[in-house]
Amino acid sequence: MRQYLSAMVWITATTVIVASAQVVTTRAAAERRAVTRLNIELVDNKVRIRELEAEMRTRAGMQEMQRWNDAVFQMAAPQSGQILRSPVQLASFAAQPEAAPRVQMAVAVDAPLAPAAPPPVAEMGARVVKTSFGVPAAAADPGLPEATADTPPADPAEPRDGGE
Amino acid sequence: MMATIPGDDPLIRAIPAAAGERVTARSQARQRLAFIIMLFPVLALVILVRLIDLAVIQGLPESGGTTISAAPPRGDILDRNGVELARTFEAYAITVMPRRLTSDPEVLATRLAAILPERSREEILADLTSGKSFRYLARRVLPGQARRINDLGEPAIELAREAERLYPNYSLAAQALGYTNDKGHGLIGVEKSFDARLADPVQRAAPLMLSLDVRVQQAMQNELQALVVDQNAKGAAGVVMDVNSGEVLAMVSLPDFNPNVPGKRSDGTAYTTANDDGSRFNRVTLGGYELGSTFKAFTIATALETGVLTNLQKQYDATRPLELAGFRIRDDHAKNRWLTVPEIFIYSSNIGTARMALEVGRTRQRDFLDKLGFLKPIEFELQEKTRPQYPALSNWGQLATMTISYGHGLTVSPLHLANGYATLVNGGFYRPPTILKRDAATAPAGVRVFSEKTSLEMRRLLRLVVTKGTGRKADVPGYRVGGKTGTAEKIENGRYVHGQNVVNFAAVFPVDAPRYVVVAMIDDPRGSKSTYGFRTAGMVVAPTIHRIIERIAPPLGVAPDTGRDLNLAGLLPSTADVKE
């Protein structure tokens, strides 16, 4: 009886071990298959990336760039005088405060300037250092303009010097 | 194996044994049993160890080769900054077996022509009805096109995946890179020289890095191409070389070709022996030219090095042409007076140089030319190399000594010249040039040919040519360019071609701390409006050198500095200028 029991225990234990080993093996094989599939996918993607890179680099090749530059950009190599040696040299280009010309603001308006308007900038030798765009005289007033057809807004053709 | 216990065996039991013997037999039997019992776990252990060895130590077996590897079938080629010059990718090829066609060729040809715009319906129909067993319908087909062709469902049409070599920069450095044949083997250039390395299954995963720089290559190719067009010339060659490492940064040979379709000319026609324009010929390494006055620098350096010249103010008689054995040596810019060495150099006096060479003598001249590598094919990786032509020792008399001193009677490649100038200005060290990227650590120490002092004197003289002499148009303010012009009659099939010149310019910058040598050569310039009809190096090549240096110096990191220059004081007695 005892011998039978012992045999049963052994058989059960062996079966359980074999079964669990089988499960482990199956799971390992499944994982391995997944890894292989992933590897193949990776390689596929790498090949695809290479193809796309090849296309991109062909389109952006030096000769293509040259063609674009000749036809569109027309940029030239910098002259030696355009290359600065140090930040100190860059700083030396900054104008002295007292030597700076009078600051003149230019404002672009919607309507063309009146032909009689004097050319103050050219006459006074001032340099336009700042411009702003698209602020008609009426709209520049504080508060929103009334949207009535009866009262036309202030004449936008009148030039504004802007002042300092 | 059956274990028997002596006590239980009926045969043994029948024989009465002595008590002592029985005990011994039983103990032996027990020992055997124990041994056998021990054997099983040992066996299991051995199997376990072997399993671990297989699974863990030896690891997984190499999987699948090309099918599961992203390594290209042939190694990529990169420039020194990692920009691709050549790469391989798998493309589709459309093949057809005309004998096995199942559908109507007329209909099929119409459908195929709609998918493959580069081929006409008639061409496709001719292939389909050729009756051959196999034809290529198209190669390098896009994946989308391949899918549409597959959808046609014709069983005689097959899609094959082929490794295709792609050169993204088209004709840029075409002769240096080379191209491959249908089987993927290199035929010229780097593709041929490094064929084994590029095809090796282990090494091909890592790209081959060249010393070329596409930016420099493009600048030089573009400028030389413009010059060839302007001068209606037969061709041009150009090299940019690092003087300290011997790396070749640009190698241009014009006319060039598109290595993506090496069998076809730019107009789409196929190459034949009749219409071959020499575009696959690498003029930089395989072309042999008499390079003329650029050689005078080597004569003066040899004279300085051998002690013939102890002082640059030594004067030579250039009052009249030099005659020897019925041969007359004369000057193009004749001054008809005695000239100092700097004057000989900036006026490019053949007479003065020839007299100097006579003082140096044949043996020492030959010895130095040999040390500079001018008497043998250049030590370089590419296999397309010219063998220099020079007189045999028995024929190398006084006349040869004199003519070779100013670059006539000796043919070398433009790469020889560039490397010679690198040796001249880098402190006097000869290093073989290379097309592979060299780290500072792997650059060879070099063999000393000239002393540091000679090198410095030569740099001063080269600078003088650009500030006061024939090379003034090559000067770029701030970059301290030095150089020498050269003009020689063209040689074809061993004979001089009358009226055709090869003009060249060898430049160095910045000359106070040399980094790069730029050599440009143009084959048979015809003169143009921009050069006022002149065909001399100073008028034709020097402005191109100016533009090339202006374009390549910023990307190469050479900073312009108008505050620095070589001290040229004392070279010329007074401000002397030479006019073309």
Interface test with B, best of A32, A80, A83, A84 (most B CBs within 10 A): A80
| B335 CB burial (10 A radius; 0-12, 13-18, 19+) | middle
What's the rounded Cα separation, in Å, for the pair A35 and B452? 63
Residues of chain A with C-beta less than 8 angstroms from the C-beta of B83:
57
Same domain flag for A14 and A60: yes
Q: Is A54 within the bounds of a domain?
A: yes
Q: How confident is the model at residue A92 (pLDDT cuts 50, 70, 90)?
A: confident
A50·B84 Cβ contact <8 A: no
Residue range of the domain that includes A59:
2-73
The A-side interface with B (CB below 8 A) comprises 36, 39-40, 42-43, 46-47, 50-51, 53-54, 57-58, 61-63, 65-66, 77-81, 83, 85
Weakest mean pLDDT among A46-50, A135-139, B80-84, B419-423: A135-139
Given a contact cutoff of 8 angstroms between Cβ atoms, the answer to whether A127 and A101 are in contact is: yes
Number of domains in chain A: 2
Q: Do B479 and A61 touch (CB under 8 A)?
A: no
pLDDT at B68 over 70: no
Residue among A36, A47, A62 minimizing CB distance to B70: A47
Helices (H), B116-235: 121-128, 143-151, 174-177, 189-193, 195-199, 214-231
pLDDT in tens, B521-532: 999 999 888 888
Q: Which of A136-150, B144-158, B329-343 has the lowest mean pLDDT?
A: A136-150
For residue B159, list its beta bridge partners. Answer: B94
The residues, any chain, with a CB within 8 Å of residue B41's CB and separated by 6 or more, are none
How many residues are present in chain B? 580
Q: How far is A77 from chain B (nearest CA, A)?
A: 5
Peptide bond into B510 cis (omega under 30): yes
Report yes or no on A81 lying in a domain: no
Q: Does residue B171 sit at the A interface (CB-CB below 8 Å)?
A: yes
B303 phi, psi to nearest 5 deg: -65, -40
Contact A62 B169 (CB under 8 A): yes
Contact flag B68-A83 (C-beta cutoff 8 Å) = no
Output the six-digit token pair for B63. 């999987």
Is the model's pLDDT at A121 over the cut of 70? no
All residues of chain B having their beta carbon less than 8 Å from the beta carbon of residue A77 are: 219, 547, 550-551, 554
Q: Kindly tell me if the per-residue pLDDT of A156 is higher than 50.
A: no
pLDDT confidence bin for A97, thresholds 50/70/90: low
| Cα A84 to Cα B542: distance, rounded to the nearest angstrom | 26
Higher pLDDT, B12 or A68: A68
Instruction: Calculate the alpha carbon distances from B248 to A68, B75, B210, B244 in Å.
Output: 27, 21, 9, 11
Among A36, A54, A80, beta carbon nearest to B168: A54
Return the residue of A nearest to B70 by Cα.
A43
* The pLDDT of residue A4 is above 80: yes
* A46 and A100 housed in the same domain: no
User: Quick one: A111 and A48 in the same domain?
Assistant: no
Would A85 be classed as within a structural domain? no
Q: What is d(CA B135, CA B149) in angstroms, rounded to the nearest whole number?
A: 15
Q: How far apart (Å, rounded) are the C-alpha atoms in residues B229 and A18?
A: 83
Q: In this structure, is residue A78 part of a structural domain?
A: no
Distance from CA of A86 to the nearest CA of B (A): 11
Going from N- to C-terminal start, the domains of chain B cover: 75-210, 217-259+284-556
Residues B544 and B240: their CA atoms lie apart, in Å, by 13
CA distance to B238, B409, B515, B550, per residue, from B557 (Å): 20, 39, 10, 12
Same domain, A58 and A104: no
> Is residue A58 assigned to a domain?
yes
Domain boundary pick from A27, A43, A73 = A73
- Is residue A134 included in any domain, yes or no? yes
Which residues, including other chains, have CB under 8 Å from residue B251's CB and lie 6 or more apart?
Answer: B173, B175, B176, B212, B217, B238, B239, B282, B284, B285, B415, B435
pLDDT score recorded for residue A142: 43
Among B538, B474, B536, residue whose Cα is nearest residue B508: B474
Separation between Cα atoms, residue B294 and residue B488, nearest integer Å: 10
pLDDT above 90 as % of chain B: 54
Residue A79: inside a domain: no
B511 SS3 class:
coil
Q: Please give the pLDDT value at position B6.
A: 52
Pick one of 3.90.950.10, 3.90.1150.10, 3.40.710.10, 3.50.50.60 as the CATH number of B217-259+284-556.
Answer: 3.40.710.10
Which amino acid belongs to residue B313?
Answer: Q
Give the pLDDT score at B466.
Answer: 95
Question: By the CB < 8 Å criterion, does B11 face chain A?
Answer: no
Marked catalytic residue, from B279, B293, B349, B405: B293
Query: What ranges make up the beta strands (E) of B58-212?
Result: 77-78, 84-96, 135-141, 157-166, 208-209
Distance of CA A95 to the CA centre of its chain: 33
Contact between B83 and B218 under an 8 Å Cβ cutoff? The reply is: no
The domain made up of B75-210 has a fold known as Penicillin-binding protein 2a (Domain 2) (3.90.1310)
ipTM for the whole predicted complex goes beyond 0.85 = no
- Across the range B105-132, mean pLDDT stands at 88
Please state, in angstroms and rounded to a whole number, the distance separating the CA atoms of residues B308 and B302.
8
All residues at 6 or more sequence positions from B150 whose CB lies less than 8 Å from its CB, including other chains: B159
Q: Does B145 touch chain A (CB under 8 A)?
A: no
A111 and A154 in one domain? yes
Point out the least confidently predicted range of A93-102, A127-136, B20-29, B112-121.
Answer: A127-136
Q: Are residues A64 and A106 in the same domain?
A: no
pTM attached to this predicted model:
0.75
Burial (CB count <10 Å: 0-12, 13-18, 19+), residue A27: exposed
Pairing of strands B248-254, B235-242: antiparallel
Average pLDDT of chain B? 88
Calpha distance B419→B242 (Å, rounded): 9
Question: Nearest-CA neighbor of B577 among B491, B485, B494, B471?
Answer: B471
* Mean pLDDT on A16-30: 94
Sign of torsion over alpha carbons A8, A9, A15, A16: positive
CA distance A106 to chain B (A): 38
Residue of chain A minimizing CA distance to B258:
A63
Q: How much is the average pLDDT of B487-515?
A: 89
> Is B293 marked active-site?
yes
pLDDT at B65 over 50: no
Last residue of a domain, one of A73, A103, A133: A73
Task: Return d(Cα B215, Cα B218) in angstroms, integer.
Answer: 5
